[in-house]
A and B are shown apart, each in its own frame.
Chain A
Amino acid sequence: MATLGVLDSANLNGGQKLAVKYFTVAIALFGAQVLFGLLAGLQYLYPDFLYGVLDFSVNRMLHINAMVVWLLFGFIGAAYWLLEDEAGVPVVGLALGNLIFWVLTLAVTVVVLVYLLVQVGPGEIKSIWLINEGREYIEAPRWADIGIVVAVLVFFYNVAATFMKGRFTGIGGVLVLDLVALAGLYLAGMWYTPNVSMDQYWWWWVIHLWVEATWEVLVGCLLAYGLMKTLGVSRRIVETWLYIEVALLFGSGILGLGHHYFWIGTPEYWLAIGGFFSALEPIPLVAMVVHAVFDAGHHKLKSTNNPALAWMIAQAFGNFFGAGVWGFMHTLPQINLYTHGTQWTASHGHLAFFGAYATIVIAFVYLAVQKWRGNVWMSGEVVGSWRWKWAIFLLHVGIIGMTMALLIAGYEQSQIERAIEGSTWMGYFAAQAHPWFQQGMVWRMITGWIFAAGFLLLAWDLLTIGSRESRPARRLEPQEAMAAG
């Protein structure tokens, strides 16, 4: 038995040893996301800053790509984290899973170096294969796409084969089916067409059906497991909620895809379909809030891991406000005609990606460091608890501040650039030069620095929390422990 409070991989099962590798890269890439976000934000205020060296397009691409990849690494890590626990057997094909982790990490490094050093290529198909696909969020060149598909297939094999060998819990069943959809959808973004309408039609299959459908369901699985582990909520309750969430998420999210098909050349019936189904999209997120808050209250907030529970509650609210409310506010075509392609979208994107996804990955990293240190005490009054509390506070002040600043800029753009000036280039710059927009960019920068400070504190806390604890983790009540299986 290892000493309590000391990081020792002997405390982890096979899947969890792999999970902590994914989490480590994920948090490093989270840092990269913050860094390139700061650089891009500064360029709004000082346009000559890094002009011709690291242009806005490069910083912005790295900002959003680091995000996609760190969240994917976080999700893959979280799945490996719960895999042996849920299935009841060691991970099948773990050696291959380990190999793929290194391949994937190397590939990400090469892609980032090419983005930074080569940046752009000639207008030929080889640029898309080797340098940059030039399509927002899925800029990774085609060779990397193929690598990602191979890696995800190996990951899928690990997960599916382990559940098949052990037991298929409700969480396991939903997770496996969700991963089939997640991997399959990526293929929709892997071909070239000169037709920009067709390009964006399939591009949204990847972006929307990942972010507003399969990722949400994956998060539902993680939340279900997390609530069982930290609060001892019974499996029957979390799994019933999970099925409700799947029904509502896919029921609204699959056809909610239509809200991206208003203005890209697609037929007019999408205005009605997209408007109607995306108006329903907040409903499952309300269910998730009710579920998380009710369970936490029912168990009187007595958790085995307070930081993880706090981040899960933050997830429930962040998802509801960021994805649900902020999405709904501009999703109906009558308003979207004016908000589409303005800072409105950036406002929604910031709160939604952080609220729905960053939060749950952070919660799982807290679960991981607790067990990694020998299942150390992480309930009330953990030594140095000011750090995780200040980190969650600063990150939320930062993200909410950026969201509000971008929202004001977005409102101003919708009114001046779109409604009054009619979206000409002159109208665009009239709106960009307006004091309301400029002030929005200043406040986004100030709150961006606050967010960055929160990130540094979070990273410090993840490295140290529990290291000076000698108490073992709080035990769940006997009936809770039994229910959690």
Chain B
Amino acid sequence: MTAAKLYWWASESFWKKMAIWITAASAVVLIFLTFDTVAKITAGSKRVPAYSVINHRIDYVFDEKRNHQVPVIGPEEPLFGRKLSEEEAAALVSKGKLTVQAKNCMNCHTLLGNGAYYAPDLTKAWLDPAWGSKEVREQLMVDFLIDPSDKLHNVLGRRMPKLGITEEEAHAVVAFLKWMSAIDTNGFPANFKPIEQSDTPAAANVSSAPAASQAAGAAPESTPVQ
């Protein structure tokens, strides 16, 4: 290297100091934001509801002000017809989350859009119109989880394997999915069309579901083969 005069901004010592200060400043900002975010995503907060939200109807409705869909907690509609205390609900959702982890769901499905892409996203699985009607959805979900191998999935022949999920675990997974659908995800997924949940008979929804499935080249997830 020649003894050419080096500008201060090209010197090793300048960039060494910059590296240290920029890294430290970024880390401090991240830590401050983390304190704020953790408070805002703790279960029971506005964005991430308490586990007992599974005692209520959950919908996903367009919000004019935010200009995207947001979860809406509706009237009481206990899961499997049984109202749970906060502790019972927390235990059930936790059992569901443990099952989701132990069965490695995330290496086919996505949760909140993260995971693998071999099977549908589960963020709004609870609200998916493919379950047909809200009256039969809970039981169809449980039956499907316990043994999906003989249920019709899609025209591709891609099937979920039987993972040894017990009835108790299946109930818990459904609770976890219902709770997850109530998280405020800033409008993800966009343009989602939730299952009909109003108290009036959902005739329109029932009659349109098979037509939609044919148009999409896929059968509803839950329809048994027989």
Contacts and interface: CB of A to CB of B under 8 A. Distances in A.
A57 B15 contact: no
B19 A418 contact: no
B73 interface: no
A424 B130 contact: yes
B22 interface: yes
A422 B190 contact: yes
A254 interface: yes
Interface in A26-70: 40, 43-44, 47-48, 51-52, 55-58, 60-61
B108 A425 contact: no
A267 B188 CA distance: 13
B19 A250 contact: yes
Interface string A211-238: 0000000000000000000000010110
Interface string B177-192: 0001001111111111
A200 interface: yes
Contacts of B173: 123
A168 B93 CA distance: 51
Interface in B67-104: 90, 93-104
Contact of B104 (A120, A124, A197, A251): A120
A251 B183 contact: no
B205 interface: no
A266 interface: yes
B98 A127 contact: yes
A422 B192 contact: yes
Interface stretch (A143-151, A377-385, A426-434, A453-461): A426-434
B112 A61 contact: no
Contact of B217 (A123, A338, A413, A433): A433
Contacts, number: 285
Contacts of A135: 101, 106
Given A200-B112, A425-B128, A271 B186 contact: yes
B101 A133 contact: yes
Contacts of B180: 196
A198 B98 contact: no
Size category of the B interface is 35 or more
Interface of chain A, main secondary structure: helix
B42 A421 contact: no
Contacts of B111: 196, 200
A123 B98 contact: yes
Nearest to B69: A422
Nearest to A239: B12
B190 A423 contact: yes
B198 interface: no
Given A247-B15, A425-B130, A198 B120 contact: no
A254 B216 contact: no
Given A122-B164, A337-B188, 20 more contacts: A52-B149, A58-B107, A61-B104, A123-B165, A194-B90, A194-B94, A194-B98, A195-B41, A195-B42, A195-B48, A198-B38, A234-B1, A239-B12, A243-B16, A244-B18, A254-B26, A265-B47, A266-B41, A267-B41, A429-B217
Interface of A: 40, 43-44, 47-48, 51-52, 55-58, 60-61, 119-125, 127-128, 131-136, 139, 170, 174, 192, 194-201, 234, 236-237, 239-240, 243-244, 246-247, 250-251, 254-255, 257, 260-271, 273, 337-338, 340-343, 345-346, 413, 418-430, 432-433, 483
5 residue pairs, one from A and one from B, having the closest CB atoms: A123-B99, A134-B101, A423-B189, A429-B218, A341-B113
